[in-house]
Structure formats: C-alpha cells, structure tokens
Amino acid sequence: MGVSSTAKVVTGSERRSQPKAVQPGNREWVTVIQGVNSQGWPIPLFIIFAGVYYLSCWYEDLLPGWAISMSENGWTINVIGIDWLEHFDMYTKDRTVGVNRLLILDGHESHESLEFQLLCKKKNILILCMPANASHLLQPLDVGCFAPLKRAYGQEVDKLVRNHIFHVTKLDFLPLFKAAYLASITESNICGGF
C-alpha cells in the first residue's frame, strides 16, 4: 500500500554504507480493478482490500461510483469477479452502441469461472482474453495509464514521508490513490493507450 517510486539518494562522501530509502506502508495488498474504453472514459474503480470488515469512513471521500470489496488477502477471487462484472455492467450498459459489449481481459482465473461466463452471455458481454504475459504490450491501461498512475501515487507517498508519516493505512491509501488517479487516469492517457 505504501511503496513509493524509486529515487536517488545523495549523501556525503564520508558515508560508508548504502543509504536506505524509507518506504511507508505495511506491504498489505490492495487490488484496484479499472476498466476504460477507447473513447477515453473510465468506469468507476473497484477496490479490493484485505480484511473482513468494512469501515464507513472509507466511503466519505470516494469518487462517485467507486466500489470497495474485501477478500482475505486483498486479491480478487471468483465471487469478487462476479461482483465486478455486475459493476461493469451497471456503468456500461447505457453507453453501449448496439447489442453487445466487448470486454478485453487479462485472463485472470476469476474471469474464467462458469458463473462469470454465463453472466457475460446473459448481459451480452463478449469476452476477449489477451495472451498470457502480453498485457504489458497489448493492454491499454498498462500502455497509457498505469505508469503515470504509479508515478503519481509514488509522489503522494513521498509527501507523507517528507511529513514524517511512515505508515500508510487503508484510510490513508484512499485519498493518496484518489489524488494519483485524478492526475493520471485522464481521457488523454486512456486514448493514448489505444
């Protein structure tokens, strides 16, 4: 949650050991599922935290439509994949030209369950899975958005470090990520990925 971007550290020449960069956070996983289209608009985020209990304070400053889910380790699982597909459907069904929608996926196992496939068929969603290990070349988000997002999030985390805050909690993560998201998931970056 709190890993910052890489940085160079300048120290005096008399220093004998390698300087160490502080990385705030507890290394807890957070999964963020983002969908976009070639016209440059994103569907609202779907965030997965590790844990069991939802806290009302998480929802106080979310962007409209952002959803939060929970899993044991913060990763997506089949049931969350179905929840995300319902989320995707809700935000794309009224913007569809024609009967079907094309959903390009990275081939994660949560997209391969029978329930996921049947729901796609019911909702007129056609699935195209990218070849394994090729998403960094073919996926519009990897190409146009995630590098700027990672950089912007790292800058937000660095601001905490400069203020001597060395631990990023779930509550801290949301405003940091929101600021990075608004700076990087732009129409221009999305369209550039296509």
CA 107-74-177 angle, to 5 degrees, is 95
Q: Would you identify the CATH topology of the domain 30-193?
A: Nucleotidyltransferase; domain 5 (3.30.420)
Q: Which of 36, 38, 58 is nearest to 47 (CA)?
A: 58
Q: Which amino acid is at 12?
A: G
- Assess contact for 70 and 54: CB atoms under 8 A: yes
pLDDT digits (tens, 9 = 90+) for 6-32: 555 555 555 555 554 555 555 788 999
DSSP 8-state secondary structure symbol assigned to residue 131? P
State the pLDDT at residue 135.
Answer: 66
Please state, rounded to an integer, the average pLDDT across all residues of the chain.
85
pLDDT over 90 (residue 42): yes
DSSP-derived pairing of the beta strands 46-50 and 30-33: antiparallel
Per residue in 63-116, pLDDT (tens digit) is 999 999 999 999 999 999 999 999 999 999 999 888 999 998 887 777 788 999
